[in-house]
Amino acid sequence: MNTNTLLSFFERDLNKVITEIELYKNEETIWRVEKNIANSAGNLVLHVIGNLHTFIGKEIGKTGYVRNRELEFTQKNVPRQELIDGIKDTIEMVKNSLHSITNEELKKEYPVLKFSQTESTEYLLVHLATHLTYHLGQINYHRQLMDE
């Protein structure tokens, strides 16, 4: 796998997150939770942004990002446009961070222990892409259930 392939997945799915957030008829519904749904779409967006800025921006792109993971799940009522702007900023950060990474660097160990054992940077990036897709599905499902 090369970075162009990885970038295409990140860009595709982050743009789909934007589309999902834009499709909510009522902006307040982005933050709604009920029954067995633990996280709002808004909090899932904040989580995706924080996750990618941490594991791609901070560690690969050396952006200096400081994560507040708890806030990703407790912050509420961020305006829709601010969420969209955050996703667009994340797309640019991913592009900038992965732009010059080589296939040899993808095979090297990722600099932070994320799993029970060390993994390659490529492994971690594939994990992050599938993690993004997982949350994209949750956001889509949330919108269909909550946005009446």
> How much is the mean pLDDT over the chain?
95
User: Are the C-beta atoms of residues 129 and 48 closer than 8 Å to each other?
Assistant: no
Q: How many Å apart are CA 63 and CA 21, to the nearest integer? A: 26
- The predicted-structure confidence for 76-90, as pLDDT tens digits, reads as follows 999 999 999 999 999
Q: Which domains does the chain have, with CATH numbers?
A: 3-146 (1.20.120.450)
Confidence bin at 40 (pLDDT 50/70/90): very high
pLDDT at 7: 95
pLDDT at 55: 96
Name the pTM for this structure. 0.95
Closest CA to 61 of 7, 135, 18: 7
Classify each residue of 10-36 as buried b or exposed e, where b means 16 or more C-beta atoms within 10 Å of its C-beta: beebbebbbebbeebeeeebbbbeeee
Q: Cα 69 to chain center, whole Å?
A: 12
